[in-house]
Every structure is written in structure tokens, then in C-alpha cells.
Amino acid sequence: TTTGNAGNTGASATEAEATIIAARGGSGKKSEEISPNQLLRKGGVNAILLNANNNVGEDEEDEDDPMKITEGKVTYEDANKGGGAKLLSYYHCGPTLHDTNANQEDAPTEVVLLHGAAFTKTDWKTSGILDTFCEINNDEDGGNLLLLALDLPVSADGVELGIAFDSLRNQLLSGSPVIFISPSASGKGIVDLAEIMVGDKASSPSKKKDLTRIVKAWIPVASGSVLKASEEALKVFETYEIPILSIHGDKDEMGKKVTEMLGSTANAKTVELSGGHPVYLDSPDEFVSEVLQFLEENGL
């Protein structure tokens, strides 16, 4: 696994190793318990990843290890664009649908990661963000955090997002509403679902409910579509108790406007991190921490 060079990934390899040893009480023994959140705060993404690599081989490799990142594809019929099958590639970690069905009392927290126009699902992995979520998931939640990083086109509107979501039901997602993280242009689909709910765009009455059927919470990162949305559409999120965490970079004026609008209109929690438009790549440690805090604050 590589951390890439998209931004600050925390401590250097040497500093990360020192953080791990310190967290183990100075022993450096692999058997000592380590809190991933402690590593994230003190050593950054590199400490998380180095700890994961150090632990490889301690036990027999388990194909169902929730930290393991798998890659695959599904197809969906894009009726919104005139028909035809489209491929949707993904990265996945966390419990499988079989695990979910086997233990309904401990349903997973399902998080879907989209990407901006200049990026792909791979950026979630090369930045170390996906690996960090999966490592924390494995150590602290026992596999209760299900993550899907999708290569859904940023042109996808609400209808296409709904169709893509349904293609993942009964395969990778439970079908219950999920938490969407939508950097930049990928927020279009979520905003469109809100516009469908309050407007006359729905092709059927059931489509007007797709926002609440699909979205449990929303984490937009400088999603410009918000600035073009109607006030009525943005108010829908608060009306239907869909919590929002709006994040932007301190060097991104457009992103700041998005956050301010969501804060004042949709009662969003607002966060400014150090970086530009793709601030989640510029400040990955802080981004992961803010997301985890948001999930905890809202009982997600």
C-alpha cells in the first residue's frame, strides 16, 4: 500500500514507527493493543498504515478480514440516459452482505465515497484515506464500518445515482440509506435528489422519496452544485433530519461559499481544513478525524 503524495499524510516512516512503539508502551511488541485513533492523532496516516503492515503475518490471513480492500465491478441500466448497461467499479472493505444478514442486531455503518471530476476511486486508496478507515474499522469496530469507493461519473444526476445505488443492493449494500461523501462535482446527484423531492422532476411518485430512501447523511467537500440549488431543496435535509458535514479548504473560496450556504440553510456542521479544493487529499488525517467525529456525534 502506498500513501501517495496528495498532501500531508502525517509523520514520516521513522516518526510513524516511533509513534507505534510509544503506543505499545515502548516495547514495540506486535501483541500490544494499539488504538488506531491514537495513531491517527499522533502519527497520521503513515502510522496507521505502517502498523497495519507490521501486523501482517501475525495470524493466518483471513479472506473475510474487514480491513482487506477488494476491488470489483457491477453493472446497472442507465435508463436516464437512454438505456444501456454501464460498468460501476468499486473498492470495498468491511462486512459483506452475508455478514450483515447474519447479524441484523449489529447492522454496519455504510459509507459510500464518490470522487471529483479530476479524480477516481483510486485517489481514496493512494491517499491512504481508504486504508486508514479500513484499519480503524478492523481494530475498533470489529468490521462494522462498510466502505465503498465508487467510480460513478460526476455527470450522474439523482436518477442515475438512484439506479446505481439499486445495482449495489443485495450485493454490497443492505439497501438501507447510506452516508455519502461527495467531493466537488460528485455532489450533483445528491443535490438533484433534493430538487426532485421538492419539484416536479420526478418521473414517478416513488422517485420523489429517493433522497430519504438512499441518503442517511451527507458529507459534501466543496460540492459546487450546492450554489445552484434552490433554498427549498437545501432545507429538505434539515426537514427530514439528514445530517450534513460540509468541509472545505482554507484556500478554496468557492468551497467556503458552499459550506456557508449549507450551514445557514441546511443546518450543516461546517469545517474548514488546511488545503485547496480537494482538501480531503491535502489534509487526509484531519479529514478522517472530522468524518469519524461526525459519525459519532450523530450516532451513525
| 256-293 tens-digit pLDDT | 999 999 999 999 999 999 999 999 999 999 999 999 99
Element (H, E) at 182: strand 178-183
30 φ, ψ (degrees, to nearest 5): -70, -25
CA dihedral for 102, 104, 109, 115, sign (positive or negative): positive
Gap between the Cα atoms of 230 and 227, Å rounded: 8
Residue 300 · residue 179 · CB < 8 Å? yes
Percent of the chain whose predicted confidence (pLDDT) is above 90 = 56
Element (H, E) at 73: strand 70-77
pLDDT reported for residue 13: 41
Nearest to residue 15, comparing CAs of 285, 253, 213, 205? 285
pLDDT above 60 for 230: yes
Q: What DSSP letter does each residue of 21-44 carry, written as one string?
A: HHHTTT---TTS---HHHHHHHHH
Beta bridge partners of 77: 85
pLDDT reported for residue 16: 45
Gap between the Cα atoms of 81 and 153, Å rounded: 12
| Cell numbers linked to 242 | 439528514
Percent of the chain whose predicted confidence (pLDDT) is above 70 = 68
